[in-house]
Chains A and B, each alone.
Chain A
Amino acid sequence: MGGEPLSRDLLRRLLFLVVSLFVAVIIIFLLLRLLPGDPANALLSINASPEQIAAARHQVGADKSVMAQFITWMSALLHLDFGKSYISGLSVLPSIGSALLITLPLTLISFVIAAVLSVVAGFLAAYYARRWFGIVLSGFSQLGIAVPVFWVGLILVWIFALRYNWFPSSGFPENGWGDPAGALWSLALPITTIVIVMSSSMTRYVKSVTTDVLGSDYIRTSRALGSSFREAFFRHGLRNASVPFISVLGIELASTLLGAVVVESVFSLPGLGSMLVKAIAQHDYPNIQGILLVTTFLVLVIGFIADTVQRIIDPRLRITSSSGIK
């Protein structure tokens, strides 16, 4: 078991990341360009004349060959030119940037709170698995997995915003993060919503990993050799448990991002999710493409980081390829 040096493994996976991104770009291009009716339709009223249609097709470049379209589009992408919205005429990338100012803090704050909560709750649920305390914790996490995230938001709005007026029911301060307290105040309910749902699935996972570790031979041996439970768990258990947990964290972070996308709609926050839903409804292809590309990029990078951290913790992973399974 020699294993590769970390740097060479890193390089190979970076290459894989670039290839996946490129494949994703092609898929998004093909799906949006070939499957639907003409993207030019978004520019036209229902009874447009043939001349108007031709002009619109020329404007969006739909009259050129697919390959020519792809090359133009790709080279624009490489210059970070994502085009302009059909509806508002605004450049796509700056719009996405300002939407991310809401979506990213919402995602990251919720994720950190949910992760910390679930590590504690999951450990307790496993440690006290046969006591009422552990059973109640497990029950809550079971319930949280079956609940639609937007429904939790809806119920929180009903109780805490509409009935008791403690929090705003929707929207974001006019001057955004220029008013940090107001911004956080309007994110309080959305964050709580995401935390409730995301911490449930993570708690369940932490519990199952912890149960495995608690019943493992190495903990028993360590205990038999005289170390306290705390010593045995922190020296041997934690590192073993953290590897599978980090791979799940990567996937959970991606789902938190998507959770944020849905929850934004509940609270009418002008983030990436609201922007995407609006763009799909209006057939605003440049915006759809831009948002999907940015989201895909984020999801792939999150996965890459999770992989890298795992390999730093567990050298055994470095010798198998990403899909390696014996």
Chain B
Amino acid sequence: MSTAKAARARLSTFHGSPTFAIGIFFTSFIFIVALVSLIWSPYKLDDTTGNRLEGPNATHLLGTDTLGRDLLSQLMVGARIAMKVGFGATGIALIIGCFLGLLAAFFPGWIDDTLASIFDTLIAFPTLLLAMLIIAAEGASLWAAILAIGIAASAIVSRIVRILTKRILAQQYVVAAKTCGTSRWEILRGHVLPNLWPTLIVNLAIIYGVAVLTEAGLSYLGLGAPPPSYSWGRLLREAQSTVLTAPLGAIAPGIAIILLVLGMNFVADGLRELFDPTQRGNS
């Protein structure tokens, strides 16, 4: 594809869904901040040279915390943690969910029945409760939180994959392909996956947002990574006691969470509109 053509295609994508464009803008902003924090941040995280609870000023754009550390630098590192949580938990949910969902769909009978009832029961449970259960057993750490959220979300992915795959497998052209002797593997690759991924990717974007929110909640409750950790949830936990003197410390991490989660939800809505134009304006 020539560059002009590619550019036009990209433009029309954004034109087709302003929601998608806004979503991409928000999420890529946080993504870039996370990347930048790998090589540069205004201050080192253990730099306590600032005054205690400074307001926003020229040297500390967002002010400082109770130990005199720069808030902006902490937020930037927090973006990296949010990325780890989002991609980590979504990845785990995708792998477990696809495996179990396809297993259930391809093997009707007792395997399907058992798995389906497990998915239904698990979905009734709020992600946070499952995460707390696993953390109660494993102890609090960032990876326990990611694993717990990923496992909880995998029930949602499993159910979607199972239902969609069953629907696809019941289509006449798939039945015809089967009758012609096409192998299960070929059907999976040629018919199931191409029809599966649009819905799947929309839901993964939503799960990403839920994962970020849940980890923030866990960290806020003190059940995420133990200190020193710069998860946005933990920053909020620490800012709560000083909210009257330094409100920005309690506002800024919240805004960061909202930008990322709202952005991901917009991406999901936008993708849904792009994949299925009849859904436009229905989000």
Contacts and interface: CB of A to CB of B under 8 A. Distances in A.
A236 B266 CA distance: 32
Interface string B87-119: 000000000000000000000000001001101
A265 B251 contact: no
B201 to A, nearest CB: 19
Interface string A24-41: 100010011001100000
B220 A150 contact: yes
A16 interface: yes
Interface residues of B, number: 50
Given A150-B236, A155-B250, A276-B132, A31 B257 contact: no
B121 A148 contact: no
Given A36-B137, A162-B244, A262-B128, A146 B220 contact: no
B216 A148 contact: yes
B281 A129 contact: yes
B24 to A, nearest CB: 15
Given A145-B265, A155-B250, A262-B221, A211 B136 contact: no
Contact of A146 (B217, B251, B262): B262
Given A142-B262, A162-B244, A323-B113, A254 B124 contact: yes
Contacts, number: 135
A185 B243 CA distance: 22
A300 to B, nearest CB: 7
Nearest to A143: B262
Contacts of B85: none
B222 A281 contact: yes
B251 A148 contact: no
Q: Is the interface of A mostly helix, strand, loop or mixed?
A: helix
B133 A151 contact: no
Interface residues of A, number: 54
Interface of B: 113, 116-117, 119-121, 123-126, 128-129, 132-140, 163, 166, 209, 213, 216-217, 220-223, 233, 236, 239-240, 243-244, 247, 250-251, 254, 257-258, 261-262, 265-266, 281-283
Interface of A: 16, 20, 23-24, 28, 31-32, 35-36, 129, 138, 142-143, 145-151, 154-155, 157-158, 162-163, 208, 211, 250-251, 254-255, 257-258, 261-262, 265-266, 276-277, 279-281, 288, 292, 295-296, 299-300, 302-303, 322-323, 325
